[in-house]
């Protein structure tokens, strides 16, 4: 019997994502000036206020207030009527030195034996459902908000948009797990005030359906475009007025959108968030490593859908265990346990090896903090830190290295494909 599955996304202006982006901007700046930095920083944003807290071990000195303001400015909180504005918000820092008790469990005389920064389990997932091996509902939810943000910045076709927004996509699947059609799309977008609420609702709904949706469809393959039928149920700003938003509407915290960050409810998620953590924290690095493994397994033809789990003990380099679930889609004549053992042979999952393989000790994290950490394009960019200042620094950074299909040949060789 056909079934429905739903995923959501949130925009870069959502308060939790504002917090994530500030935390990851701090990570990038610390790594840009000291690649050995150990950082775990949390951000809270609310009406007119930012609070920074966490632990740092680094030789770099940062103007954390200036970094936070630049992130807020880039997102688009630049008007006083938002009640949260880059130049005027208060910023309080309670960042302090990292605990030596934690650090002694991570650092070793031999870098290869670097211990895990914490205990826990991490998951990676991939599916043949989309070109980027991501679940379709989440992929579309992200695309809706990326395009909505582009419309906001262009300020031409739609001129009333504010930074905060959420999306949600429900897809109907067949018995054999193939997407049939889009059942429901939900979009809630912050906006300028209108004189008439009734006129406002009608205008926003029309613009979302007649302007936003066609722009998103245009970038999709024909088979995905066909999922947009005239039977879609649209819920556009279903509560009505959405003028008060962002950190003024809701307090934002780092790490509260972990399902948006990963697979939209497909697969599984471990116990930790990503943003604000340097790569010695396996909550982040091992989640990227397992995504890299799952994606390369699917791309190589081992299975149509793969979930990979790895687990660690704090201070210990070797994982406690590796688990693989192919959901019955394996094509190599092996049980999932046998596939997991081969994965351990192909991929070194010690924390230092992950850092080296995926080049994680680089300032690559700001771009991850909105619209998902997975399914993004791996590319090299030049990033500039402290532009125009004495300590300006340019760094060439390869982004989203865990999305590369650079192990497909090794996987095929190992599995005889």
List residues forming the annotated binding site for ATP. 14, 164-166, 241-242, 250, 256-257, 273, 277
* Torsion angle of C-alpha atoms 171, 174, 180, 185, degrees rounded to 10: -10
Give CA–CA dist 356/41, Å, rounded.
23
Q: Which two three-digit tokens encode residue 50?
A: 């930012």
Answer for the pair 24, 366: CB distance below 8 angstroms, yes or no.
yes
Residues belonging to the binding site for K(+) are: 42
Q: Residues marked as binding for L-methionine? A: 55, 98, 250, 281
Residue 12 falls in which region: left (phi positive, over 0), alpha (psi -120 to 50) or beta: alpha
Q: Which two tokens stand for residue 6?
A: 């739903």
Q: Cβ of 4: how many Cβ atoms within 10 Å? A: 11
Q: For residues 69 and 386, is the Cβ–Cβ distance under 8 A?
A: no
Assign 58 to helix, strand or coil. coil
Please state the residue numbers annotated as binding site for Mg(2+): 16
Q: Which residues participate in the annotated binding site? A: 14, 16, 42, 55, 98, 164-166, 241-242, 250, 256-257, 273, 277, 281
Instruction: Report strand pairing: 161-173 vs 3-10.
Output: antiparallel
Cα torsion through 324, 298, 274, 354, rounded to 10: 80
The residue written with tokens 């003028």 in the block is: 243
The SS3 of residue 96 is strand
CB-CB contact of 169 with 141 (8 Å): yes
Number of C-beta neighbours around residue 66 at 10 A? 12
CB of 290 within 8 A of CB of 308?
A: yes
Using DSSP, state whether 75 is helix, strand or coil: helix
Q: Are 254 and 275 in contact (CB under 8 A)?
A: yes
CA distance 186 to 169: 6
């Amino acid at each position: 019997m056909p079934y429905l599955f739903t995923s959501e996304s949130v925009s870069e202006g959502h308060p939790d994502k504002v917090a994530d982006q500030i935390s990851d901007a701090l990570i990038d700046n610390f790594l840009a000036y000291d690649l050995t930095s150990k950082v775990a920083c949390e951000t809270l944003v609310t009406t007119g206020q930012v609070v920074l807290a966490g632990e740092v071990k680094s030789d770099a000195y940062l103007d954390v207030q200036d970094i936070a303001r630049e992130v807020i400015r880039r997102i688009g909180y630049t008007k006083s009527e938002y009640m949260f504005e880059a130049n005027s918000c208060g910023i309080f820092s309670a960042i302090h030195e990292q605990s030596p008790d934690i650090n002694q469990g991570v650092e070793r005389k031999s870098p290869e034996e670097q211990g895990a920064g914490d205990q826990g389990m991490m998951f990676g997932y991939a599916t043949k459902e989309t070109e980027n091996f991501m679940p379709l509902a989440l992929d579309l939810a992200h695309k809706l908000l990326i395009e909505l943000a582009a419309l906001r910045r262009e300020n031409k076709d739609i001129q009333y948009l504010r930074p905060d927004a959420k999306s949600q996509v429900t897809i109907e699947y067949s018995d054999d797990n193939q997407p049939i059609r889009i059942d429901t799309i939900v979009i809630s977008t912050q906006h300028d005030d209108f004189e008439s609420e009734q006129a406002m609702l009608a205008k926003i709904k029309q613009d979302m359906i007649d302007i936003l949706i066609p722009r998103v469809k245009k970038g999709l393959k024909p088979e995905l475009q066909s999922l947009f039928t005239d039977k879609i149920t649209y819920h556009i700003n279903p509560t009505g007025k959405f003028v008060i938003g962002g950190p003024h509407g809701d307090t934002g915290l780092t790490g509260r959108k972990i399902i948006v960050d990963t697979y939209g409810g497909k697969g599984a998620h471990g116990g930790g968030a990503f943003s604000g953590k340097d790569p010695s924290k396996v909550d982040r690095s091992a989640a990227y490593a397992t995504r890299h493994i799952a994606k390369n397994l699917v791309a190589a033809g081992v299975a149509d859908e793969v979930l990979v789990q790895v687990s660690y003990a704090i201070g210990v380099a070797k994982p406690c265990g590796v688990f693989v679930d192919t959901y019955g889609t394996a094509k190599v004549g092996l049980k999932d346990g046998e596939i997991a053992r081969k994965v351990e042979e192909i991929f070194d999952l010690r924390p230092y090896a992950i850092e080296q393989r995926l080049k994680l000790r680089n300032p690559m994290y700001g771009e991850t903090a909105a619209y998902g950490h997975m399914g993004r394009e791996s590319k090299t960019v030049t990033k500039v830190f402290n532009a125009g200042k004495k300590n300006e620094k340019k760094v060439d950074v390869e982004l989203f290295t865990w999305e590369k299909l650079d192990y497909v040949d090794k996987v095929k060789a190992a599995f005889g494909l």
